[in-house]
Structure 1
Amino acid sequence: DPYRISHPMPQDRIANLEVLVKQDPNVDRPDPPALQQRHDMMRVKIAVYMEGQAAASRLMRKMQGTLAAQYGDAQSTYLFGNIAAALAKTNALIRAQPKNAYFQELRGDILMKANKPKEAADAYAKAVSLDSARSGLLPVSVGQALMAVGTPDSLKKAVVQINNGLGRDKENSAGYRYLAQAYGELGDIPGAELATAESHFYSGNYKDAKIFAMRAQQQMKRGEPRWLRAQDIINYKPSTKIK
């Protein structure tokens, strides 16, 4: 099996990592509080979304009194509890850290669930303005909220925002699906077809990507940038090399 030859088994990978950790001069040095807080916040978010309410609650009990625990509680309340309570908890987080982009993102998520897309778009836009990491997901979230507003003007703004997000993270297949929907609602069918092709392409579904790229090309001027991108998809040949 070429894969097994070139890839260590999980137990071997863990053993190799343990050796590296023990050799690291910082192994016994506590992380800076800000870094530990970021790590804990990510742990609790993953627990809420991937492991469920009970697992997240167990983890949060170990973090009692921390901002990470409050963040996890707000996330859990948003997913499994009361929207109004989740919003109140998130607003408290924002008061504690007004420049935290991901608290604003959570506020946007809650407002979307509450069917308040215009307010959600504002929250996501605030998150974008605070995000020093320039995440591609946040502008796409702005675009989703603007799409839900549903006016011609908001749809045009949605296209701009989603394209901004895809410019930062061009492999976001879900982002292209939203873009295709926005183009379709604006009547830009070639744009919708190409965005659908991109979505399939970055999902690894090359057959359908080529079909939609050819459909897009039929409605485009030969040689224009979008036509050329469609041609790139049509010409693409996936590698068969085993990594």
Structure 2
Amino acid sequence: MSFSPPQRLIRADAWRSLVRLLMTVVVLLAVAVRPVAAQSILRDAETEALLQDMMDPLLVAAGLQPGQVRVHLLGERSINAFVAGSQDIYVFAGLIDAADSAEEVQGVLAHELGHVMGGHAIRINDGAKAATSISLLSLLLGAAAIAAGGGEAGMGIMMAGQQAALGKFLAFSRIQESTADAAGAQYLSKAGISGRGSLAFFKKLQNLEFRYGVKQDDDQAYGRTHPMSGDRIQSLREVYVVDAAWAKPADPAIEQRFQRIKAKLQGFISEPERTLRKYPESNTSVPARYARAYAWHKSAYPQKALAEVEGLLATAPEDPYFLELEGQVLLESGRPKEAIPPLRKAVTNSRSQPLIAALLGHALIATEEPANFPEAEEVLKTAIALDNQNPFAWYQLGIVYANKGDQPRAALASAERYQLEGRQAMLALRNADLAMQGLPEGSPDWIRAQDISLVARAEVERERKRR
């Protein structure tokens, strides 16, 4: 049976529409899963400490223990945050930059905690399954209609089914977001934190929608993953303004630390020219000096960076993070010996903060003086004992072991590093197997190498099947 040209065109257009719709469903599901491995995680001791201190009162309000949910910083400039796994919150650098106060970020953290407590990262599969059931049923019915000779009717059934599936998934997502909004408001209230910041941040999002022409009428709500910002603001305002914490002043210590972190992050991720425009040298505040120190360091002006650090240390000589920055600038400017004293002091003053300790270990190794390697081994082992999720620390410890001639443990350290970095399963497997060959069988290190080998081998096999 042949089709006339107009019918063929109609059918081709229908297929293209169906493909676009299916692609939309796939993209939305991919966004819902949000693979963290594809993101760039920023590790900074001061930032992580602040985010956790901002998070802990909310955790207690939710009935959890401090530190039970961890907050991670991603290096992307999007104004976004999400939950991955069951108890990990990821905040984008762009969100920190867009926020004007710590309370705004705490409003976002409270919302994300609502997702955690609701198990939304896990339950998203429920919404996907429901949508997939509709989708598959429509495909089967449409295929049956086409087989019976009703080509256009079959295509209509398929497309209607895909649209229904997409709508069901989006409705499921909007319900989760509304639930997280309500839960976040409760956590802020119980923690004694005003909802002013939450409303202010939602207003920022609404302004962005206005700027980019996103319509706010009810007809547009059907195709959104989140409720309309205006509706969210109205609903939350009714809750916040009557809350006892509404007029409570913000925590001045947290706010001061937040402004430091915001400026520090600006200096780290932005182009130096932009940072120097925002924080001119006439501004001698701590946040401004912090931002300029990173801008000058990125621009390869170490002396100007060190001058800003000196200004910071003049205000707080014992501040471990200012000392850490001084050591970092010296180390990365090719002066590792000079970096050691401030870094040693930073490690002591921070009570062996693992990220700072790893930097000290790096400086000790960078001197290439054998006398410094025992201290490097000690501080790196301490750093890993406190935080074994730092691939840089494992890399440095591997250098120490290789320098000692302990190749099996050097290989194990490399296996740990490659496993943490992700997308390096083959290298993790090779190094783990090499470590097992030289370590005493059944020893703790041998067992650890075996664990890495098993996980890495499974990942390599999965990758081969995908290809």
| Aligned length, in residue pairs | 235
Report SS of the residue matched to 1:222. Answer: coil
What is the rounded CA distance, in whole Å, between the counterparts of 1:161 and 1:231 in structure 2?
Answer: 26
Structure 2 equivalent of residue 197 of structure 1: 415
Relative to structure 1, is the Cα distance of residues 25 and 104 closer, same or farther in structure 2, using a 3 angstrom cutoff?
Answer: farther
Determine which of 287, 292, 297 is the counterpart of 1:78.
297
Report SS of the residue matched to 1:84. Answer: helix
Over the matched positions of the two proteins, sequence identity in percent amounts to: 27
What is the rounded CA distance, in whole Å, between the counterparts of 2:338 and 2:244 in structure 1?
Answer: 48
Q: CA deviation at 1:51?
A: 1.8
Structure 2 equivalent of residue 120 of structure 1: 339
- List gaps (5 residues or longer) in structure 2: 1-25, 33-122, 126-172, 186-197, 200-239, 463-467
Relative to structure 1, is the Cα distance of residues 207 and 106 closer, same or farther in structure 2, using a 3 angstrom cutoff?
Answer: same
- Does 210-219 or 137-146 show the bigger shift? 210-219
Amino acid in the other structure paired with 2:413 = A
Determine which of 53, 74, 83 is the counterpart of 2:272.
53
What is the rounded CA distance, in whole Å, between the counterparts of 1:54 and 1:16 in structure 2?
Answer: 38
State whether structure 2 residue 367 is matched by structure 1 residue 145: no
Q: CA deviation at 1:26?
A: 4.5
Measured against aligned partners, the alpha-carbon deviations of 1:173-230 in whole angstroms (never above 9, x if no partner) come to 1221122122212221111100000001112233321221110111111122211211
Q: Work out whether residues 144 and 158 of structure 1, in 8 Å CA contact, stay in contact via their aligned partners in 2.
A: yes
Measured against aligned partners, the alpha-carbon deviations of 1:10-59 in whole angstroms (never above 9, x if no partner) come to xx69x949x84243754654433332221111111111111222332344
Relative to structure 1, is the Cα distance of residues 37 and 99 closer, same or farther in structure 2, using a 3 angstrom cutoff?
Answer: same
What is the rounded CA distance, in whole Å, between the counterparts of 1:151 and 1:160 in structure 2?
Answer: 15
Relative to structure 1, is the Cα distance of residues 114 and 51 closer, same or farther in structure 2, using a 3 angstrom cutoff?
Answer: closer
RMSD: 3.0
Relative to structure 1, is the Cα distance of residues 69 and 224 closer, same or farther in structure 2, using a 3 angstrom cutoff?
Answer: same
State whether structure 2 residue 261 is matched by structure 1 residue 42: yes
Pick the structure with greater CA Rg.
2
State whether structure 2 residue 327 is matched by structure 1 residue 108: yes
State whether structure 2 residue 434 is matched by structure 1 residue 215: yes
User: TM-score scaled to structure 1, two decimals?
Assistant: 0.83
Relative to structure 1, is the Cα distance of residues 136 and 92 closer, same or farther in structure 2, using a 3 angstrom cutoff?
Answer: same
- List gaps (5 residues or longer) in structure 1: none
- Does 201-210 or 157-166 show the bigger shift? 201-210
What is the rounded CA distance, in whole Å, between the counterparts of 1:208 and 1:25 in structure 2?
Answer: 56
Structure 2 equivalent of residue 164 of structure 1: 382
User: TM-score scaled to structure 2, two decimals?
Assistant: 0.46
What is the rounded CA distance, in whole Å, between the counterparts of 2:276 and 2:249 in structure 1?
Answer: 25
Determine which of 124, 131, 138 is the counterpart of 1:6.
124
Q: CA deviation at 1:115?
A: 2.3
Q: Work out whether residues 152 and 186 of structure 1, in 8 Å CA contact, stay in contact via their aligned partners in 2.
A: no
Relative to structure 1, is the Cα distance of residues 217 and 82 closer, same or farther in structure 2, using a 3 angstrom cutoff?
Answer: same
Relative to structure 1, is the Cα distance of residues 27 and 59 closer, same or farther in structure 2, using a 3 angstrom cutoff?
Answer: farther
What is the rounded CA distance, in whole Å, between the counterparts of 1:187 and 1:123 in structure 2?
Answer: 30
